[in-house]
Amino acid sequence: MHRKGIAIVSLLALAAFLLLTSFASAQQSGPKLMIRDKEPDLGDFYEGTDIDYAFTIRNTGIGELHILSVRPG
């Protein structure tokens, strides 16, 4: 009977450890880039016309977001 008790306690401890580590990894997902209006409607314009548009970029994750480069798509 003593071995059953040790086995049950060990299984409960393992289950608690796995639950806590999965919760911690979900909380530490790192930075996450969110861009509002990825494809904005710029209306009609002539070829060769300069167009200015400001994209709103937000870090919705946890941790510092580093933008290392940007290229037109």
Average pLDDT over residues 45-58: 87
CA angle 6, 11, 17 (to 5 degrees): 125
Question: Where does residue 11 fall: left (phi above 0), alpha (psi -120 to 50 degrees), or beta otherwise?
Answer: alpha
Looking at the chain, the whole-number percentage of residues with pLDDT higher than 70 is 63
* Sign of the dihedral defined by the CA atoms of residues 26, 30, 31, 33, in that order: negative
Query: Any bridge partners for residue 35, and if so which?
Result: 57
Element housing 52 (H / E): none
What is the model's pLDDT at position 53?
A: 84
What is the model's pLDDT at position 7?
A: 66
Residues 6+ apart with CB under 8 A from 1: none
| Residue 27 pLDDT greater than 70, yes or no | no
| Residue 16 pLDDT greater than 70, yes or no | no
